[in-house]
Structure 1
Amino acid sequence: MFSPRGPSLRELMVQALSSVERGYDLLAPTFDHTPFRTPDVILDATADALRPLGPFGRGLDVCCGTGAAMRVLTPLCREATTGVDFSAGMLARARAAHPDAGWVQADVRALPFAGAFDLAVSFGALGHFLPAERLALFSEVHRALRPGGLFAFPIGAPPPVTSARYWALLGFDAVMRVRNAVWRPPFVMYYGTCPLSAVRDDLEAAGFSVTTVPLTALGRREDGGPRCRLVLARRT
């Protein structure tokens, strides 16, 4: 599937019927050759938007996967960079690709840090948390940052209801809800559960002040709005 070096259809099916942690352990060797890995164009657009706000001290990648966000953190941070994820398989790939960074296995809803970082980023992870879990996640990131620290992540605009993408994502979420209703362990991954308004409310409830900037390099929608915004949540 996806490319000659990507996972097979059978491997994807086994992964989808596993828990989130086990599924990513299984997918880790081929993850970078799938569409699930954040594209470099999004990473670069994020780095460009953050550069005028830096440089930063210590950096943290929340739900780091195979470490793709080091492309953003390493040039922006003058001190150590760290990635945290609960998948040992993904961390092994990250450690091999970026041996100079620190890698920590932990549930991000209980981060083993307090007041340690100046910049935290996250890419493509929010869909792995149910709406009721989001505040706990944001509160842990808030605790991990130093006063004045910044939590940044891109969030896409919803596709138009008339687009094929809208119905594809809606269909994916519906399939996942059915799968989780009839199969254990659950695999939490939804595309429609984190609209910007709800994410902003939870960030503010966790103690952040929130602004956004358009990532214009990623294009605009037909209505003129940006396809993607970078959320900038500051620990006040």
Structure 2
Amino acid sequence: MFTPQGPSLRELTVQALSSVEHGYDLLANKFDATPFRTSDRLLTAVADTLEELGPFGSGLDVCCGTGAGLDVLRSVCAGRVTGVDFSTGMLTRARRAHPTATLVRADALALPFAPVFDLAVSFGAFGHFVPDAQRTLFTQVHAALRPGGTFAFPLPAPPLVGSRLYWTLWGFDAAMRVRNALWHPRFVMYYRTFRLPDVRARLEEAGFEVTLTPIESLGRRADGSPHCRLVVARKA
């Protein structure tokens, strides 16, 4: 993260003390040089898994950021590819990298679309939505899909209890809760508020039929469970 191409510690601190929207505006020019960008390995694995579930027509990348997920849509969608995000800075970067995509500035909790999409995806954005906001988000995506449309996103297996990653994420979430209690505007970013059983229930409440597809190219854990699943939510 602290490379000549990435943000400095000072820049990250300023971002963390801003609102989510303004923070990403500040980070946009260096976002792709940080670990926060979804890895190409994961994007390729998701695209390969989606190919087996298609074909799809038009596609929507929800909270598209700088547009890393737009290439996934292009690889599996025959029709129009659209990205939506509320950060002007991130969309500016996305337009440079994806000049042929349709890019829309909007809040994901109030999507400005009719039900015209066959596939919606999202990568790395769910930590910005607390549980009640997740319900609204899923309802909005459901409304933007055609009947029979699919909302798909990768969901990594949770870290083993007691592992270094487990305590790192626990500590990060605790620090963010303290920060948001003491400082405004809030910066919503939590890693432990997107658990599979809760997510599945909220998707079903929004009207989706949910299945899980292992992303086999990412391997399996020692107990045989996949490192990552593709959550596939279909609009009935």
Give distance in 1, aligned partners of 2:148 and 2:20. 33
Give distance in 2, aligned partners of 1:67 and 1:57. 19
Is there any run of 5+ residues in structure 2 with no aligned partner, and where? none
> Which residues of 2 match residues 82-231 of structure 1 at below 5 A?
82-231=82-231
AA of the residue aligned to 1:229: R
SS at match of 2:191: coil
**Range 226-235 or range 70-79, more displaced:** 70-79
CA deviations over 1:205-230 (Å, ceiling 9, x no partner):
00000001111212222222111110
> Superposition RMSD on alpha carbons, in Å?
0.8
Give distance in 2, aligned partners of 1:186 and 1:102. 30
Give distance in 2, aligned partners of 1:58 and 1:50. 14
How far 1:162 sits from its partner (Å)?
Answer: 2.5
How far 1:3 sits from its partner (Å)?
Answer: 2.5
How far 1:92 sits from its partner (Å)?
Answer: 0.2
Is there any run of 5+ residues in structure 1 with no aligned partner, and where? none
Give distance in 1, aligned partners of 2:222 and 2:180. 35
1:20 equivalent in structure 2? 20
CA deviations over 1:28-66 (Å, ceiling 9, x no partner):
000000000000111111101110221211100000000
Q: After TM superposition, what 4+ stretches of structure 1 lie above 6 angstroms from structure 2? A: none
2:8 equivalent in structure 1? 8
CA contact (8 A) 2:2 2:9 kept: no
Give distance in 1, aligned partners of 2:16 and 2:204. 33
Give distance in 2, aligned partners of 1:28 and 1:36. 11
SS at match of 1:148: strand
Give distance in 2, aligned partners of 1:76 and 1:166. 34
**Range 213-222 or range 196-205, more displaced:** 213-222
SS at match of 1:53: coil
1:65 equivalent in structure 2? 65
CA deviations over 1:7-47 (Å, ceiling 9, x no partner):
01100000000000000000000000000000011111110
Give distance in 2, aligned partners of 1:220 and 1:177. 32
